[in-house]
Structure 1
Amino acid sequence: MTLFAVGALLCLSFWASLYFVLCNVNGSRSPEWNCRLVTLVHGILAVCITAYIGYVDGPWPFAYPGTKNSTLQISALVLSLCYFIFDMAWCVHFRTEGPVMLAHHTLSILGILLTLWLGESGIEGCAVLFGSEITNPLLQARWFLKQTGNYGTWLGTVVDVLFVTLFVLMRVFVGGAMLYCELISPRPRFFIKCGGVVLYVLSWVFVMDIVRFAIRKWHGQQRDPHDTVSANGLKTKRE
């Protein structure tokens, strides 16, 4: 437990320090600009680490849910846990997020803590992180394009198409398959299964909002997506 606390403190210090360094380097930029850079760094790190865990280190999450956590899985979960704590504190301080996104962050934090406390189901946790963070770079790219006046170009359209497609694919289809494997397996604990159901339902809330945005966009109604009161990242930066 002491080792876990030290590791968590170091990770939390890393995310906070990165943010403050970026604020000093990019003094002319807004706090959200710098926080989004931190979010982008986390997204890239999380995807790379969890992809290695799922595809190389193993075990395969669809076939072996509920297995004992490995050291690498624990490291990946702690890294993301501390990021979510930092990001939620930032969101509360600057009041940038609505109740749905704050609930998503809370569930993510509690889910990772439960997985670490139980010492199992880390492979599913890493799979969920991979599926949720893989669209993060696109999400940040579209925001930075908007801020720099390049969102209305062909590049903005490409980013939007890739983001919507990948988000729906990962959250609905891959996420649904993961949840099915979780529910039919006798190994995962009941609370882990319940958490999976709640997160999947929340993903549908995000997906429906994104679909509504896509329909408006493709019908030529160019409402600023950053003015959309949404739970997913069309207005916010998190997933």
Structure 2
Amino acid sequence: MDDYNIKLVGLGVVLWATVFLLIRNILPKRSFEFCNRLVSTIHATLAVTLALLSVEDWRCPVCPLASKSSPRQMQTLAITVAYMIYDLVCCLFDKKDNLDNMVHHLVSIVGLGAGLAYEKCGSELVAAIWITEISSPFLHLRELLKELGYRDTGLNFIADLLFAAIFSLARMGCGPYLTFVTVSANNPVVIKAMAVGLQLVSTFWFYKIARMVRYKLAKWTSKKVV
């Protein structure tokens, strides 16, 4: 990784932390988790947008495979690596966070960091960012609504269903294909391992989300009956 990308990642960590502190100052009555989720939503929206803008060939969004990353792809990777480092630090302060989320962060940092270091696999890695972040705004929305007093409401139920649907389509629809092409191409071993690791974590989360949806549907149906 050259000095420019190292500086960009370092600057990004500082900027994400600054955004968090600004939100905490603007919303002093909101919880640590609430403010961090707002930062995460900003990142997810930015990351998805940058990932789309960095696609080189819309006839094959993950092409060219195992190729040198474009400057825009490198910037997208650096911004997301910086966010992941910032958010991993936040995980250490948030007692509610769990092991699988921390594993997800570590795998992402190592894999995307390897992409920055090798300066290749940009197409595959920005596609991975798109797949993993497209459902994040809805994940955070459902939790933000709870703190705003909309727990167990129709709005929160819709947010749950939207998150589950988008997550399932992205992670279990597009995810396995991206994992296959990444592992099949002439990519560094660490990036292949990242692809497999992220898919395994996504599969575990899919199982948990399916159980959540089943519970929410049963609960919502019983409320309607009553």
Instruction: Establish whether TM, by shorter chain, passes 0.5.
Output: yes
1:95 alignment partner, SS class: coil
Counterpart residue identity of residue 6, structure 2:
A
Tell me the distance in 2 between the aligned counterparts of 1:196 and 1:175. 9
Q: Does the alignment pair 1:72 with 2:72? A: yes
The CA deviation at 1:95 is 2.8
Post-superposition CA distance 1:129-158 (Å, at most 9, x none): 111111111111111111122233322222
Decide whether the 8 Å contact of 1:121 with 1:188 is kept in 2: yes
Equivalent residue runs for 1:81-100 within 5 Å:
81-100=81-100
The CA deviation at 1:58 is 4.0
Tell me the distance in 2 between the aligned counterparts of 1:48 and 1:76. 9
Counterpart residue identity of residue 41, structure 1:
I
Decide whether the 8 Å contact of 2:57 with 2:63 is kept in 1: no
Q: Report what 2:182 is aligned to.
A: 182
How many matched pairs? Answer: 219
Post-superposition CA distance 1:16-39 (Å, at most 9, x none): 111111111111111111111111
Tell me the distance in 2 between the aligned counterparts of 1:151 and 1:47. 28
- Report the aligned-residue RMSD: 1.7
Q: Report what 2:139 is aligned to.
A: 139
Quick one: structure 1 residues 220 and 96, their matched pair in 2 at CA, closer, same or farther if it must change by over 3 Å? closer
The CA deviation at 1:3 is 1.6
Counterpart residue identity of residue 174, structure 2:
V
Q: Does the alignment pair 1:200 with 2:199? A: yes
Tell me the distance in 2 between the aligned counterparts of 1:172 and 1:8. 30
Q: Does the alignment pair 1:45 with 2:46? A: yes
Decide whether the 8 Å contact of 2:157 with 2:216 is kept in 1: no
Tell me the distance in 2 between the aligned counterparts of 1:17 and 1:129. 23
Counterpart residue identity of residue 212, structure 1:
R
Counterpart residue identity of residue 85, structure 1:
I
Q: Which moved more, 1:124-133 or 1:92-101?
A: 92-101
Equivalent residue runs for 1:1-239 within 5 Å:
1-54=2-55, 57-58=56-57, 60-185=60-185, 187-220=186-219
Tell me the distance in 2 between the aligned counterparts of 1:171 and 1:111. 17
Tell me the distance in 1 between the aligned counterparts of 2:200 and 2:166. 18
The CA deviation at 1:221 is 7.5
Tell me the distance in 1 between the aligned counterparts of 2:74 and 2:99. 28
Tell me the distance in 2 between the aligned counterparts of 1:166 and 1:35. 22
Tell me the distance in 1 between the aligned counterparts of 2:13 and 2:209. 31
Decide whether the 8 Å contact of 2:81 with 2:112 is kept in 1: yes
Decide whether the 8 Å contact of 2:34 with 2:147 is kept in 1: no
Decide whether the 8 Å contact of 1:67 with 1:122 is kept in 2: yes
Q: Percent identity?
A: 26
2:64 alignment partner, SS class: coil
Counterpart residue identity of residue 15, structure 2:
F
Decide whether the 8 Å contact of 1:182 with 1:188 is kept in 2: yes
Quick one: structure 1 residues 12 and 161, their matched pair in 2 at CA, closer, same or farther if it must change by over 3 Å? same
Q: TM-score, normalised by structure 1?
A: 0.86
What residue ranges of structure 2 are gaps of 5+ in the alignment? 222-226
Decide whether the 8 Å contact of 1:179 with 1:197 is kept in 2: yes
